[in-house]
Amino acid sequence: MMTHTTVFQTVVIGAGSGGLTVAVGLAALGRPVALIEGAAVGGDCTNVGCIPSKTLIHESGSRSGGAAAILATVQRKRDHLRAEETRHVQQMEYLTFIHGWAHFLGPKRLEVIHADGSRREISAQTIVIATGSRARTMEIPGLPRERLLTNESIFELTDAPHHLAIVGAGVIAMELAFAFRKLGSRVTIISRDRRVFARGGAAASEVLAASLREQGIAVRYGATVTRYDPTDETLYLTAGDGADVVLGVDHVLLAIGRVRNIDQLGLEQTGVRFSLDSGVEVDSYGQTNMPGIYAIGDVTPTSHWTHSAGAQGRRVVQRILFPWLPAWGQEPLYPSATFSDPEVASVGLTPDQIARRYHPGLIKTLRVELSATDKGYTEGLRRGFIHVYALRLTGRILGATIVGPRASEMISLFTLAISARISLYRLYRLVYPYPTHSTGIQALADTFVRETLPHLPAELGAVARYGLATIWGRLRGGSFEAVPQPDRKLAGAVGD
């Protein structure tokens, strides 16, 4: 039964990173806004994602106080931040917080169902969808519910598992595998791929695989889970044509991807173009095909992180408050960071994307081992690197990956460089503090300049020829295989 209908200028559905950015941003500038959230304020990041996971990673590194005390600290800090964020949105001027679950009745009409079962109808000129995502789940025959974990339940543990099996080998799996191993748990990763962290590229995968072995974390490659026997705590697997078992498993963490929270929104009532697989279609400012309806964060095809949801939220605030400002250009670059041991961070084009856009002869690939820097020497660093793809001659950076300590902090220099088209020549002239891991960037830029400037005529000739090949390849649909290659003499002169 509907109790009443309320009209707002703007309604934001979801109080995670993106939704909070929009709602707080609008309210701070005097624009009335309603924020609807059915679960806890802060969304995944505050409650079951970034904040508890990074607190756990930090605390587990100290290993002080034992696993139970560390997990209690994680919960305490998570709960404190959630309470602070909740209090802030409830007390903020111009912001109306509504606790309940929303779904569309029409393009500008919503029904909100409250915890007590009561309902209300809301309409708004502008609606922002920021409902995030949830953990993908699967059934494991024989596994009791209390032993099945996702990122949404693992931070409720009061002590570390004796033996944690992690199904999946992506970001969440990497971060929590290292953290729980440091808490004293045995950890086994079950990877369907033939390598861990496949999305990070082969080089990063190799470093993480070596680190996993070094820290005593087992990995079963090319394997899938079939069932669990609770009587002897055995997890049964298939691996290729054979079978395998993992013994003594008391908890299983599913880290097999995310599902966008759009299936219960009633989007089919709005005319908004979307699919459950790819998400809600939006332009570079979050606008859907329906005027006045925006979408940001995990529900879109391009955002997968807290920082990207926040960035999208800021762009939506701009569109709502200042619609007369030009709305052009692509979305900003979104760097990624995985807080494994070591960290992995990347930004820009992937090798596959570069291969589709440019002739390989135009690309300069540069890599510096962090162990070769003086900072790496002083810390006894055994593995880690900075890897950059740049255009020959100009030094324009296309993509970068860093694997090593504080990679998440270092990647921002490359985010700026790619966004502002800062070349390796300018990074060569930059002065870096000594000794730091960032001197690896200096070494990388040194290598580029040393291999380019003494060979300018050959470089100019190669770039001219490969540039034409790139244009020709794009005209032929992106294939460079049929393009005539430079002669061996020229290729040798430019280092191919």
DSSP, residue by residue, 243-285: EEEE-S--EEEE-S-EEETTTTS-GGGTT--EETTTEE---TT
Asked if omega into 484 is within 30° of 0 (cis), the reply is no
Tally the C-alpha atoms within 13 A of residue 302's C-alpha that lie toward its C-beta: 18
Distances (CA, A) of 224 to 172, 174, 197, 231, 240: 18, 17, 16, 21, 9
CB-count exposure of residue 435 (10 Å: 0-12, 13-18, 19+): middle
Helices 66-91 and 50-62, interaxial angle, to 10°? 150
Facing residues of 7 across strands? Answer: 123
pLDDT for the residue numbered 373? 96
Phi, psi of 386 (to 5 degrees): -120, 125
Q: Is the distance from CB of 281 to CB of 290 less than 8 angstroms?
A: no
Q: In the chain, what is the straight-line distance between the N-terminal and C-terminal CA atoms, in Å? A: 72
Q: Is 314 helix (H, G, I), strand (E, B) or coil?
A: helix
pLDDT for the residue numbered 3? 53
Q: Which residues contact 150 (CB under 8 A, 6 or more apart)?
A: 135, 137, 253, 254, 255
- Per-residue pLDDT of the chain in tens (496 residues, 90 and over written 9): 445 678 999 999 999 999 999 999 999 999 999 999 999 999 999 999 999 999 999 999 876 779 999 999 999 999 999 999 999 999 999 999 999 999 999 999 999 999 999 999 999 999 999 999 999 999 999 999 999 999 999 999 999 999 999 999 999 999 999 999 999 999 999 999 999 999 899 999 999 999 999 999 999 999 999 999 999 999 999 988 889 999 999 999 999 999 999 999 999 999 999 999 999 999 999 999 999 999 999 999 999 999 999 999 999 999 999 999 888 788 999 999 999 999 999 999 999 999 988 989 999 999 999 999 999 999 999 999 999 999 999 999 999 999 999 999 999 999 999 999 999 999 999 999 999 999 999 999 999 999 999 999 999 998 888 877 677 666 666 554 433 333 323 222 222 2
Q: How far is CA 484 from the centre of its chain?
A: 39
Among 287, 296, 58, CA closest to 178: 58
pLDDT for the residue numbered 484? 37
CB-count exposure of residue 483 (10 Å: 0-12, 13-18, 19+): middle
Q: Which residues contact 134 (CB under 8 A, 6 or more apart)?
A: 44, 152, 258, 259, 261
Q: How far is CA 163 from the centre of its chain?
A: 27
Q: Is the distance from CB of 313 to CB of 19 less than 8 angstroms?
A: yes
Rounded to two decimals, what is the model's pTM?
0.92
Q: Is 190 helix (H, G, I), strand (E, B) or coil?
A: strand
Q: Is the distance from CB of 229 to CB of 246 less than 8 angstroms?
A: no
Q: How far apart are CA 300 and CA 85, in angstroms?
A: 24
Using CA atoms in the order 196, 198, 203, 207, what is the torsion angle rounded to 10 degrees? -20
Asked if omega into 342 is within 30° of 0 (cis), the reply is yes
pLDDT for the residue numbered 186? 98
